[in-house]
């Protein structure tokens, strides 16, 4: 169990819940302690997303992510976050069966990581579960719109509500349902701007957009996407750096210097004290 207490946080669930219509909430994904330390001063919320299955493990979707994986990375992020609130995704299969299953697994997540809340996907169909969890002391961040864990049903990652208004009512009703069930935030993923506006204006809790326009009450991006470390860049992602290119160049320089024996040079080599011979020098006089 993490030694860090959520009670020491400067960002809390009630404070984020109260940010509806106020200063936008800054959210980024994080999967490791070093990254959490770097992002913590700038973010209000760090989301340990099951996107780590694709970003870190090379999986084709989030379906293969397990509860043990989420707990291991969640605990790592909590160790690096001292200000930002940490929320951990409940992976596919860990909460859909029943509210009781969701409660058991959510308790394990919070107990073993020290995180403040869990996130789960689904609207009206998950309202009963969200209510069950929140009434038992587990804060829930909801997720509507495009649902990555349901990609096998939806058939892909296409944005919703862009061709017509057909289907808008269902998504708005999903958002209303999780609001009434007690969620404190809701991620709205990959929907048209006017639909995002309608969702945000229809509920009392803050919306966190990812591909859902600046009208939302906050924004989240996958950290590897915004740092330019992903091969594919979704339309809604702004790349704030090109670290992928920088890493490629650094690795290429390192490889060249190793092969030419330029590295390690004397500067990076331990020598016997009192031995002033050049590195690699002959013992012959």
pLDDT tens-digit readout, 161-211: 898 999 999 999 999 999 999 999 999 999 999 999 999 999 999 999 999
Token pair of 129, please?
């579960």
Q: pLDDT tens for residues 233-275? A: 899 999 999 999 999 999 999 999 999 999 999 999 999 987 7
Residue linked to tokens 């864990």 = 149
Phi, psi of 85 (to 5 degrees): -75, 135
Q: Which letter does DSSP use for residue 23 in this model?
A: S
pLDDT at 158: 84
How many other C-beta atoms are found inside a 10 Å radius of the C-beta of residue 180?
A: 15
Task: Tokens for 281, please give them.
Answer: 């020098």
CA dist list (Å): 68 to 109, 230, 263, 279:
9, 25, 40, 48
Q: pLDDT value at position 270?
A: 94
Q: Is the peptide bond before 264 cis (omega within 30 degrees of 0)?
A: yes
CA atoms within 13 A on the CB side of 243: 11
Q: Can you give the C-alpha Rg of the chain in angstroms?
A: 23
Rounded-to-integer distance, Cα 235 and Cα 146, Å = 14
The domains located in the chain, with CATH, are 6-242 (3.20.20.60)
Say if residue 100 carries a ligand binding annotation.
no
Please give the positions annotated as active site: 189
- What's residue 278's pLDDT? 64
Residue 273 assigned as binding residue? no
The residue ranking higher by pLDDT, 3 or 143, is 143
**pLDDT surpasses 70 at 281:** no
* pLDDT score for 284: 47
Q: Residue 201 annotated as binding?
A: no
Run of H or E including 70: helix 67-80
Q: Is 230 annotated as a binding residue?
A: no
Is residue 276 scored above 90 in pLDDT?
A: no
Confidence of residue 9 (pLDDT cuts 50, 70, 90): low
SS3 of 94-152: the string is CCCCCHHHHHHHHHHHHHHHCCCEEECCECHHHHHHHHHHHCCCCCEEEEEECCHHHHH
Q: What is the pLDDT of residues 36-78, one digit of tens each?
A: 999 999 999 999 999 999 999 999 999 999 999 999 999 999 9
């Amino acid at each position: 169990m993490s030694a860090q207490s959520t009670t020491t946080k400067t960002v809390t669930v009630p404070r984020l819940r109260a940010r509806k219509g106020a200063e936008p909430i800054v959210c980024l994904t994080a999967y490791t302690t070093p990254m959490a330390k770097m992002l913590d001063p700038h973010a209000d919320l760090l989301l340990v997303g099951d996107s780590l299955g694709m970003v870190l493990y090379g999986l084709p979707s989030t379906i293969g992510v397990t509860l043990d994986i989420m707990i291991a990375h969640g605990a790592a992020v909590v160790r690096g976050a001292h200000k930002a609130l940490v929320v951990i995704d409940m992976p596919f299969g860990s909460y859909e069966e029943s509210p009781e299953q969701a409660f058991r697994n959510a308790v394990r997540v919070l107990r073993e990581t020290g995180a403040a809340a869990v996130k789960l996907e689904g609207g009206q169909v998950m309202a009963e579960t969200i209510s069950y969890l929140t009434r038992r002391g587990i804060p829930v961040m909801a997720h509507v719109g495009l649902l990555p864990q349901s990609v096998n049903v939806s058939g892909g990652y296409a944005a919703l509500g862009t061709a017509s208004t057909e289907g808008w009512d269902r998504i708005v009703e999903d958002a209303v349902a999780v609001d009434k069930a007690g969620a404190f935030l809701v991620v709205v993923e990959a929907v048209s701007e006017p639909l995002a506006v309608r969702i945000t204006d229809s509920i009392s809790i803050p919306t966190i957009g990812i591909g859902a326009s600046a009208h939302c009450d906050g924004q989240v991006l996958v950290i590897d996407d915004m740092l330019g470390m992903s091969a594919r860049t979704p339309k809604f992602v702004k790349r704030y750096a090109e670290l992928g290119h920088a890493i490629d160049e650094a690795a290429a320089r390192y490889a060249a210097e190793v092969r030419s024996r330029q590295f390690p040079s004397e500067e990076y080599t331990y020598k016997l004290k009192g031995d002033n011979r050049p590195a690699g020098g002959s013992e012959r006089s």
